[in-house]
Structure 1
Amino acid sequence: MTTDTHLSTTDYARAEQMLAPYRSRRVPRVTPHWIADGRRFWYEAGRRWVLVDPAAGTRHDAFDHDRLAAELSRATGTAVVASDLPVASLEFDDDVPRFSALGGRWSFADGTLTRLDDGPTDPFELPSPDERWVAFRRDGNVWVRSAETGDETALTDDAEPGVQYGALTDAMSSRMNLRRLGLRTIFLAFWSPDSTRLLVHRLDERGVAEQVLVESSPADGGRPVEHRFRYPIPGDEAQATMSWAVIDVAEGTVVRQDEEPRPIVHPVTLTHVWWSGEKGEAVHHLRQSRDARTLELVRLDPSTGGTTTLVQETGETRVDPTPQLGEPPMVRVLDSGEILWWSQRDGWGHLYLYPGGSDEPVQLTRGSWLVRTVLWVDEDTRQVWFLATGLVADDPYARQICRVGLDGTGFTRLTDDDLDHDAESPAEGGHLLDRASTPAHAPRSRVLGGDGQVLVELEAPTTDALVELGWSPPERFRTTAADGRTPVYGLLWRPHGFDPARRYPVIDSIYPGPQIHRAGPAFDSAMPGTGEALAALGFAVVAIDGRGTAGRSKAFHDHSYRHLGDAGALDDHVAAIRELGLRYPWLDTERVGITGHSGGGFATARALVSHPEFYSVGVATSGSHDARVYVTMWAEQYHGDGDPLDLATSELAGNLRGKLLLIHGELDDNVHPYQTLRLVDSFVEADVDVDMFIVPGVDHSLVGRSHHVVRRTWDYFVRHLHGTEPPRFRLAALPAPQGLAGL
């Protein structure tokens, strides 16, 4: 077989176009924005805005793009074309589009463009449903502003250093990134349906130990700047705590939850809360114990602060309300008083219905598969629509749209194919937006009715624009785990210009979970753009979900419990790549690299020292290399009472034989840079060589300088795994992917 050839700037330029922001613009994804009561929605596709009415079965331009381009050009003196309208922050007010463009805020009614005095809605201010009030946080307290008069009123007055309302914890608030983007910290609060009250949490971080970051190169060119954060770690007695409060806006009264504040170790807890009833007769929220082995549904009386535990579930390992951390919890309190509840108590993830006043639930779904997402509950017809995985014979991760009665009868698959169906529904239900895809086929989007019938066809993009750049779809593969019996799944990207007569080095693009899985069967799986870009540089790339990651059976996920240091079953990754090497002789399994970010950075360094005979080159970015000194959740909830030493990659530092580049942002307030520095210290102590790059001025996601980090990563693999000298090439700063704001 032939040997590697030198890479050129053309190869790098092609790889750059595979990165997520550019890739997403070539194959747009339909993201619905529901209007008012959820009966209609709009979406953006290829710089065109489309309005959809599922009940009428129609889709059409949300406005006259040509007329708007002409009107914007006339009003601003700037040439605007219909194919690239600079529209942002679009919303509809009585069917009139309002948006930001070219430094102004505009409305466009009946072909007439009007400049507005108001700006776009501040994402950290919360208008009431009746639009009479705007809630916000000032100096830690809750305030409201009258939309009519502009008068502002403080609703709380007891904030102090370490105590504030509606805030995220210091350890998980991305303060450094928000500062870089010129944004304030997030304000979380929830208006009652009748706009009379605010539900907000009171966060108390007093007594929590501090960590310090040093900004070496401030914008003013002055002395280095110290940044302090409250940052608890596993085993600390002092943790952030929270309690709920209900504020009557007109009266200015505060009703506080009548329980002692509870520890909070991850901010997702703050979103697992909702008002119930037409006017907000009750508040319901989920809470987990500090070790996450108990999950409770609690009813809060907003008039008294009294609480009642409605459901409590306890397990030997984590008890979660959804398969993956951060997804909407699969809990519904019905008007009848019944409770729809998701549980893994039978070893899978299924739906249960708790009758009012009874502790014995009825199991609605069952079998060796799991419910992934609840889409829509119709209490009138007594049915629930949901996504399920494990029903497609060849892939346990492929999602299908299903329906079942609230008595457990009438289970129906509304989709019965081998596609992955990424569906969602408005809160009110009534229809489903279905995006069906495979790793090779871009999402075909359409609106479905309750029986699975097609109401409106939306988009069916092709991959032609990617293919023209040398892209080929990844192969979905199945191999066997290191135990010799468990099937594991992944994706394999062939190098651009693939020639089976050549031998290609392999890169494992890793994220080990355990809170999510990485390599699904959808078109946009496995952090889109990462694998494609490396494939454009002549590498074969794999993404693998080993045992211990989420999305399958409870036993599969619990493989990582007490064994978090195994980094997503690295032995499964080794076994899978070796099996693929026997299957495909063009894979050079003597030259295997690995790379990842955050938990993937941890897994990368771990791979180089735990499997030094297999992995020879690694680039670890923002790695959480020692969960003993990381935020509390990972060690206490995902490692449990496992051996703490298993969490420290430094314990294996002396095993390093390959080339390892450690990259970290100096202002990473999530995974602090001392994680990387402590690991480097262990390599120095072991007298083994390692490369390190600290990026000034950036946080965990490296926003603003990520393009430089990407290029340095490519160069490292080209030089040490490909075996040639990289070309001199500079990537442009990365734009935001279409449809995404921020990260």
Structure 2
Amino acid sequence: MLAPYRARKVPGSALAPQWLSDGERFWYQVGTRYVVVNPTEGSRRAAFDHDQLAAALSAASGHAATGADLPISAVEIRDDDTVRFTAFEARWTWADGICAPLDEAQPLPGEVPSPDGQWVAFPRDGNIWVRSADRTEEFALTDDAEPYFDYGGLPDTTGARALMRLLGLPPLSFFHWSPNSSRILVQRIDQRDLPELVLVESAPADGGRPVEHRTRYTMPGDKQVATMTWNVLSLAERTVTRQQDEPWPIMHNTALVYAWWTGEDEIHFLHHSRDARTLELRRLDPDTGATTTLITEVGETRVDPAVQLGDPHMVHVLKSGEIVWWSQRDGWGHLYLYSADGQSVTRITQGQWLVRSLLRVDEDRRQLWFVAGGLVAADPYLRQICRINLDGSGFTRLTDDDFDHDAMSPPEGDYIVDRASSSSRPPRSVVLDGDGQHVVELEAPGTEALEAVGWSPPERFRTTAADGKTPIYGLLWRPHDFDPDRRYPIIEHIYPGPQNFRAGPSFDPPHQGEPEAFAALGFAVVAIDGRGTAARGKAFHDHSYGDLGNAGALDDHVAAIRELGHRYPWLDTDRVGITGQSAGAYAAARALLRYPDDYHVAVATSGNHDNAVNLAMWAEHYHGDVSEDGLRAISNATLAANLTGKLLLIHGELDDNAHPYMTMRLVDALIKADKDFDLILIPGVEHALIGRQHYFLRRTWDYFVRHLHGSEPPRYRLAPLPLPGLGA
């Protein structure tokens, strides 16, 4: 039931269209099949003859391959239907029925090809270099990088450096090529004056002495934070044009994503204040570095550029200079049209619902397409596809059903790929035209393979929050071999945000596999979205602001489980466990400490148990109160004396996201309170425990079997889980 294996039983449930340069056709992969779609023709076909390619590859490489299980990766399908791919540690091309070796080096990790394919840019010693695709030319575009004052990197606090080391990859980098491949927009981040934190690798692979790993890290209220500026690098002139503004705080990687080229001559970017209460759209002149502020929005709490942290921004600059802008100024989340001079504003969308994503804008027709949440009365999380004119007229729902529509559209083109699903139905993928009419059917997977191993779909439920009036939503998984005459212990699988939400109405919400694994072990499992989480409007989201210690309204979670217990006699509310990772671990431990009569067993993995010493952005953006009392209120250590249930804490010693000292501070407080608890500190792993996930999952399962089921688990072992993006 775990996600890497579960996905194989529902092939086609995930779909990632790769649009060709014409913006009309695209291809995608389902298992080992490759499909090309031409919506204009209404066609869907195999991208190539899989059996022919396998036979030709076998002959050319000397390795056996079959069309049913092609051992290819890094696939690239071009406009002329030529296929390039990697197989048997070599690069190949397939065209006109011929498979031949390709003398083409794939970009290495950290390297970014130019749009025209003629150049590759990459970081080296903190500077930005480029080389020609044929490797005949290589040169530096910057030469003044210093340690912790370099180009193209990420802040240490959010750079996942420990994970990249574990995967044998260089630190993450990020920059933006111009559309004509002549220039690069790149950030320069200054971390020179930041305080350090040190992590110790106790058991290095070479068996030698423990190794220290240093990281620059800012905590809530610290005077110094990482700062950044934008720079434009010219390939032809080999010059650097620097942004003329003073450096400003960078609190999260989204600052790097929310910048883009508008044609060849303008750059736009979103600028957040340190406290996130001011959001600006600025234009950068790539020739001079001068900036112009086009839109400024100020709020009493965060001014978010999207519904969830990391979602694509919803800003579109038209050729006329007009700007489509998303805002929560009315308490929901709607689109507005600003004139080119910023002096007039036209409301595009309105109502007690919110725009969840902007799909595309047709400037000639003066129309835009978007995804909305809150239009379906039964469930405010269900997404629907809509169209509207830029003047606010002509609002049209292109979908009007009880399914969740996860839609995407090409940068250019007239079509939308729609994945419609529910908690019980896998996504049925189709191509829609601008009027919402089905053009091409793509995939419609079933659940037979899941059902064969005991799966049954979760129930989407609605209960009432602790305030006695606000509806809240969640998912309930029944145990395998469910018997309504039995009583089942409950496990809550929690992630309280507040930057996102946990229990969506689609077929594959985040962490879907883990709750289903608990159901396979004989537990009833719930996932709940209380007040203080995203996608329900500004007031609902801001319920957690200033009260981050309530972890997404834990009182709502308690109320929901009690209500479910009255609704279903087979739920045993006297045996309730809770588990989560990261902020979910914080919430799991806090639930056990704050509500000891309602939660009895908790497993908390990689938890940020003391947000007073967590990354600055977390408390400053989502709590707001960084006074001494405000920070004490968001530390689990202050509640240690309340422990009466069973608590297992798990952490990786090289976690550079939620550092292990946060768990150790809770450990220290528990020891001072003379409390019994369990602790697993895993050497050599980071926040996601990559490479050791099988171990922490087995220990988690056993802990709940032992302390909620009241039985001794059998002896068994789990195989290591596949690494993300790297296969088995």
TM-score range, shorter chain: over 0.9
Aligned-pair distance for 1:188? 1.1
For 1:460, the equivalent position in structure 2 comes to: 444
| Counterpart among 239, 248, 252 of residue 266 in structure 1 | 252
For 1:46, the equivalent position in structure 2 comes to: 31
| Counterpart among 295, 318, 322 of residue 311 in structure 1 | 295
8 Å CA contact 1:625–1:679 kept in 2: the answer is yes
For 1:721, the equivalent position in structure 2 comes to: 708
Look up the equivalent residue of 2:71 and give its one-letter code.
Answer: P
For 2:234, the equivalent position in structure 1 comes to: 248
Aligned-pair distance for 1:146? 2.1
For 1:232, the equivalent position in structure 2 comes to: 218
TM-score by length of 1: 0.96
Greater RCO between the two (CA within 8 Å, min separation 6)?
1
**In structure 1, what is the Cα distance between the partners aligned to 2:64 and 2:180?**
45
**In structure 1, what is the Cα distance between the partners aligned to 2:168 and 2:253?**
22
For 1:12, the equivalent position in structure 2 comes to: none
**In structure 2, what is the Cα distance between the partners aligned to 1:27 and 1:120?**
31
For 2:50, the equivalent position in structure 1 comes to: 65
**In structure 1, what is the Cα distance between the partners aligned to 2:618 and 2:173?**
25
Look up the equivalent residue of 2:710 and give its one-letter code.
Answer: G
- Stretch moving more, 189-198 or 533-542: 189-198
Q: Is 1:634 aligned to 2:618, yes or no?
A: yes
Deviations 1:164-218 (A, max 9, x none): 1010011111111111111111221111112211111111101100000000110
**In structure 1, what is the Cα distance between the partners aligned to 2:726 and 2:231?**
30
| Counterpart among 344, 365, 374 of residue 390 in structure 1 | 374
Look up the equivalent residue of 1:189 and give its one-letter code.
Answer: F
8 Å CA contact 2:109–2:169 kept in 1: the answer is no
For 1:13, the equivalent position in structure 2 comes to: none
For 1:660, the equivalent position in structure 2 comes to: 647
Q: What is the SS of the residue equivalent to 2:484?
A: coil
Look up the equivalent residue of 1:88 and give its one-letter code.
Answer: S
| Counterpart among 131, 136, 143 of residue 117 in structure 2 | 131
| Counterpart among 197, 203, 210 of residue 183 in structure 2 | 197
> Compared with structure 1, are the counterparts of its residues 121 and 339 closer, same or farther at alpha carbon in structure 2 (3 Å cutoff)?
same
For 2:691, the equivalent position in structure 1 comes to: 704
| Counterpart among 540, 546, 550 of residue 524 in structure 2 | 540
8 Å CA contact 1:574–1:614 kept in 2: the answer is yes
For 2:678, the equivalent position in structure 1 comes to: 691
Report matched runs for 1:227-626 at 5 Å.
227-277=213-263, 280-626=264-610
Q: What is the SS of the residue equivalent to 2:233?
A: strand
8 Å CA contact 1:526–1:543 kept in 2: the answer is no
Q: What is the SS of the residue equivalent to 1:641?
A: coil
Identity among equivalent pairs (%): 63
TM-score by length of 2: 0.98
Aligned-pair distance for 1:357? 1.3
**In structure 2, what is the Cα distance between the partners aligned to 1:311 and 1:410?**
26
Deviations 1:673-695 (A, max 9, x none): 10111110000011111110011
Aligned-pair distance for 1:111? 2.0
Q: Is 1:220 aligned to 2:203, yes or no?
A: no
- Stretch moving more, 175-184 or 211-220: 175-184
Q: Is 1:679 aligned to 2:645, yes or no?
A: no
Deviations 1:556-590 (A, max 9, x none): 00000000010011110010011000000000000
Look up the equivalent residue of 1:591 and give its one-letter code.
Answer: R
> Compared with structure 1, are the counterparts of its residues 452 and 129 closer, same or farther at alpha carbon in structure 2 (3 Å cutoff)?
same
8 Å CA contact 1:371–1:388 kept in 2: the answer is yes
**In structure 2, what is the Cα distance between the partners aligned to 1:453 and 1:111?**
36
Aligned-pair distance for 1:72? 2.6
Aligned-pair distance for 1:696? 0.8
Q: What is the SS of the residue equivalent to 2:650?
A: strand
Deviations 1:256-289 (A, max 9, x none): 1111100101111111001112xx1111000110
| Counterpart among 34, 50, 60 of residue 75 in structure 1 | 60
Report matched runs for 1:9-48 at 5 Å.
18-28=1-11, 29-48=14-33
Aligned-pair distance for 1:528? 1.5
Look up the equivalent residue of 1:341 and give its one-letter code.
Answer: W
Aligned-pair distance for 1:118? 2.0
8 Å CA contact 1:546–1:569 kept in 2: the answer is yes
Deviations 1:661-713 (A, max 9, x none): 00001110111110111110000011111110011111001111111111111
**In structure 1, what is the Cα distance between the partners aligned to 2:257 and 2:315?**
13
**In structure 1, what is the Cα distance between the partners aligned to 2:136 and 2:203?**
40
**In structure 2, what is the Cα distance between the partners aligned to 1:579 and 1:182?**
48
Q: What is the SS of the residue equivalent to 2:515?
A: helix
Aligned-pair distance for 1:742? 8.2
**In structure 2, what is the Cα distance between the partners aligned to 1:238 and 1:476?**
45
- 5+ residue gaps, structure 1: 1-17
Look up the equivalent residue of 1:24 and give its one-letter code.
Answer: A
Query: What count of residue pairs does the alignment treat as equivalent?
Result: 722
For 1:87, the equivalent position in structure 2 comes to: 72
8 Å CA contact 1:378–1:429 kept in 2: the answer is no
**In structure 1, what is the Cα distance between the partners aligned to 2:414 and 2:342?**
30
8 Å CA contact 1:21–1:736 kept in 2: the answer is no
| Counterpart among 91, 99, 103 of residue 105 in structure 1 | 91
- Stretch moving more, 114-123 or 428-437: 114-123
Q: What is the SS of the residue equivalent to 2:600?
A: strand
| Counterpart among 100, 108, 126 of residue 140 in structure 1 | 126
8 Å CA contact 2:294–2:342 kept in 1: the answer is no
Q: What is the SS of the residue equivalent to 1:615?
A: coil
Deviations 1:620-656 (A, max 9, x none): 0000111111111110111002622111010010000
**In structure 1, what is the Cα distance between the partners aligned to 2:351 and 2:332?**
8
Aligned-pair distance for 1:253? 1.1
Aligned-pair distance for 1:736? 4.8
Aligned-pair distance for 1:123? 4.2
- 5+ residue gaps, structure 2: none
8 Å CA contact 1:126–1:135 kept in 2: the answer is yes
Look up the equivalent residue of 1:713 and give its one-letter code.
Answer: T
**In structure 2, what is the Cα distance between the partners aligned to 1:151 and 1:196?**
15
Aligned-pair distance for 1:75? 2.9
- Stretch moving more, 319-328 or 102-111: 102-111
**In structure 1, what is the Cα distance between the partners aligned to 2:142 and 2:727?**
31
8 Å CA contact 1:711–1:730 kept in 2: the answer is yes
> Compared with structure 1, are the counterparts of its residues 736 and 458 closer, same or farther at alpha carbon in structure 2 (3 Å cutoff)?
farther
**In structure 2, what is the Cα distance between the partners aligned to 1:742 and 1:562?**
42
- Stretch moving more, 590-599 or 249-258: 249-258
**In structure 1, what is the Cα distance between the partners aligned to 2:511 and 2:571?**
22
Look up the equivalent residue of 2:397 and give its one-letter code.
Answer: R
8 Å CA contact 1:475–1:493 kept in 2: the answer is yes
8 Å CA contact 1:601–1:619 kept in 2: the answer is yes
8 Å CA contact 2:690–2:723 kept in 1: the answer is no
**In structure 1, what is the Cα distance between the partners aligned to 2:134 and 2:486?**
71
8 Å CA contact 1:99–1:120 kept in 2: the answer is no
Aligned-pair distance for 1:73? 2.5
**In structure 2, what is the Cα distance between the partners aligned to 1:36 and 1:734?**
36
Aligned-pair distance for 1:359? 3.1
8 Å CA contact 2:152–2:173 kept in 1: the answer is yes
Report matched runs for 1:151-170 at 5 Å.
151-170=137-156
